[in-house]
Amino acid sequence: MSVRADFYMIAGRPQFVVQPLLLVCKLAEKAVLAGQACLIYCDSAEQADFLDDLLWEFDPDAFVPHQIFGAEDDEDVDDTPVLLVPPGVDAGMRPLVINLRNTLPPGGYQRVLEIVPGEESAREPARKRWLEYKRLGHELKRNEM
């Protein structure tokens, strides 16, 4: 089975241009609804905290069970569909990863989702990751948002 890397290009939807992490919330919600547990590799502890709050608030009708992995109150992490993973924390691996870092996640996933910012000047790290995934033989897909 080939490993897939999906790149979500933020371009036209104003809510994602203004707040790209809203797209992460929608992707996490979609994963939960499909019964797919996932890891969200956050770029910083602050981003994990912000995303933790945003997952509760982004849609009054959505429920995305989640927690920050490595927090003092870790409980039932195996039963929590979405784990936010700050840098420096080893959360193991799940089949689906949403990667918010400028580096590739550790191997072991079946599918990785990458968020590409709308600003042209901020896209270079995503281009480098695309080339690295290609070098690794991942199936690549581009999604315009």
For 98-134, write each residue's pLDDT tens digit. 999 999 999 999 999 999 988 888 899 999 999 999 9
Q: Which residue bears the tokens 């009708």? A: 61
Domain boundaries defined on the chain: 4-144
Give the predicted TM-score (pTM) of the model: 0.95
The alpha carbon dihedral of 100, 125, 129, 91 has a sign of negative
Distance in angstroms (rounded) separating the CA atoms of residues 111 and 115: 13
According to CATH, what is the number of the domain 4-144? Answer: 3.40.50.10110
Confidence of residue 1 (pLDDT cuts 50, 70, 90): low
Number of CB atoms found within 10 A of residue 101's CB: 16
| Bridge partners of residue 83, in order along the sequence | 39, 67
Q: Once rounded to an integer, what is the mean pLDDT over residues 85-92?
A: 93
Q: What is the DSSP letter of 88?
A: T
pLDDT tens, residue by residue, 16-57:
888 999 999 999 999 999 999 999 999 999 999 999 999 999
The alpha carbon dihedral of 28, 31, 35, 41 has a sign of negative
